[in-house]
């Protein structure tokens, strides 16, 4: 690769699965199907949560935030993936890369904290039911959601800005499907140990700490559920909590394996498959997980479908 005079190139070459050309068409078709599914599924969750009075509760307020996040999450990366997979041009401009970096990591950081907040909501609802309406009132919910969003934005702006300032020394080839912080750190030249250490420390607070809080919340929730005498009550509590726990494991599993290790030790194909998983698969599955395992959401969705078809 010929060296460039500037530290930042005009564009990046996204190799993706260039070494496996047979994989590009199937992946393009899968993304072309799953992306509309993710959008429609999350839009449906938002609509039923807002239109059905039975779902006007803190749990569904946070679920609406999660669905909006997932829509933004997939939209920040999938259109670019489709363009690169569907054409011979495998590039993204430096400005486009920076924008993608900010949006993608804003949504990722916010979702990490939002999932922890949703587990706290379930903890209060099941372990402190008499104080639930007092603790999780509308003003508190809006305040907590605002703090989560602000924290996600702060994390993304700080980490992405520091990463974009790293000298690349002519390197403009990313062995990835998108612009992501660990991959950009990996191609930087010079001493990047400080950046790797900073990323690891920040991710401990953004990923590991929320995940531990989620596990602690559900340990208390599980203990409280076993004390419920009514089998119907236990079933309902398990239904809402198990849906959220499945979403947590789907999101945090790949995220932990990607961000809680030094970028220099990340294997070649790991970032690609991890990005597809927590950036495409999880946002697509989330609406189905919450719909199929939640009786109230299922009923609200069916009522919405009936009203639409009766109207038409």
pLDDT for residue 196: 77
Give DSSP secondary structure letters for 203-251: HIIIIIHHHHHHHHHHHHHHHHHTT---HHHHHHHHHHHHHHHHHHHHH
pLDDT for residue 101: 92
Residues 237-261: tens digit of each pLDDT: 676 677 788 888 888 887 777 777 6
Residue 260 carries which DSSP code?
S
* Of the candidates 25, 34, 31, the residue with the CA atom closest to the CA atom of residue 86: 25
Are 84 and 227 contacting, i.e. CB atoms less than 8 angstroms apart?
no
- Residue 239 located in a structural domain: yes
Number of domains into which the chain is organized:
1
Cα 266 from Cα 53, distance rounded (Å) = 47
pLDDT for residue 263: 60
pLDDT for residue 245: 84
Look up the pTM and report it. Answer: 0.87
Cα 192 from Cα 186, distance rounded (Å) = 8
Are 185 and 192 contacting, i.e. CB atoms less than 8 angstroms apart?
yes
Residues 6+ apart with CB under 8 A from 203: 259, 260
Block means of pLDDT (10 residues each) for the chain, 312 residues, are 55 82 87 92 88 84 92 90 83 90 92 93 89 91 95 92 82 83 82 77 86 90 79 70 83 78 65 81 85 73 73 54
Partners of 12 in beta bridges: 92
- Residue 210 located in a structural domain: yes
- Residue 37 located in a structural domain: yes
Residues 6+ apart with CB under 8 A from 9: 94, 168, 170, 171, 172
Q: Which two tokens stand for residue 160?
A: 């992405």
How many other C-beta atoms are found inside a 10 Å radius of the C-beta of residue 74?
25
- Residue 38 located in a structural domain: yes
pLDDT for residue 152: 93
CATH number at residue 154: 1.20.1070.10
pLDDT for residue 183: 83
Are 195 and 188 contacting, i.e. CB atoms less than 8 angstroms apart?
yes
- Residue 5 located in a structural domain: no
- Residue 311 located in a structural domain: no
| Structural domain harbouring 212 | 11-306
HSE toward the beta carbon, residue 136, CA cutoff 13 A: 24
Cα 280 from Cα 75, distance rounded (Å) = 9
Tokens 């726990």 identify what position?
A: 245
Tokens 């250490």 identify what position?
A: 197
Residue 163 CA, distance from chain mean position: 20
- Residue 6 located in a structural domain: no
- Residue 1 located in a structural domain: no
Residues 187-223: tens digit of each pLDDT: 888 777 777 788 878 888 888 899 999 999 988 888 8
């Amino acid at each position: 690769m010929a060296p460039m005079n500037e530290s930042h190139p005009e564009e990046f070459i996204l190799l993706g699965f260039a070494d496996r050309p047979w994989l590009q068409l199937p992946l393009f078709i899968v993304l072309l199907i799953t992306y509309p599914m993710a959008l429609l599924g999350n839009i449906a969750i938002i609509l039923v949560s807002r239109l059905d009075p039975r779902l006007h509760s803190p749990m569904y307020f946070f679920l609406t935030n999660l669905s909006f996040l997932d829509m933004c999450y997939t939209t920040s990366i999938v259109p670019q993936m489709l363009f690169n997979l569907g054409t011979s041009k495998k590039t993204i401009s430096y400005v486009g890369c920076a924008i993608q970096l900010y949006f993608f990591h804003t949504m990722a950081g916010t979702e990490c904290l939002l999932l922890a907040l949703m587990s706290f909501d379930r903890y209060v609802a099941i372990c402190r039911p008499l104080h639930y309406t007092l603790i999780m009132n509308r003003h508190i919910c809006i305040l907590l959601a605002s703090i989560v969003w602000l924290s996600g934005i702060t994390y993304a702006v700080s980490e992405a800005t520091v990463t974009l300032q790293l000298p690349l020394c002519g390197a403009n080839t990313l062995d990835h499907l998108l612009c992501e912080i660990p991959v950009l750190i990996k191609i930087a030249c010079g001493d990047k140990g400080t950046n790797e250490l900073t990323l690891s420390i920040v991710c401990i607070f953004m990923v590991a700490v929320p995940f531990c809080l989620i596990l602690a919340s559900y340990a208390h929730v599980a203990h409280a559920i076993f004390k419920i005498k009514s089998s119907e009550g236990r079933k309902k509590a398990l239904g809402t909590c198990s849906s959220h726990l499945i979403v947590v494991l789907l999101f945090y599993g790949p995220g932990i394996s990607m961000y809680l290790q030094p970028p220099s030790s990340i294997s070649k194909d790991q970032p690609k498959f991890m990005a597809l998983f927590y950036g495409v698969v999880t946002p697509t599955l989330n609406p189905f997980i919450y719909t199929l395992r939640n009786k109230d959401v299922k009923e609200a969705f069916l009522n919405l479908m009936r009203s639409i078809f009766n109207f038409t």
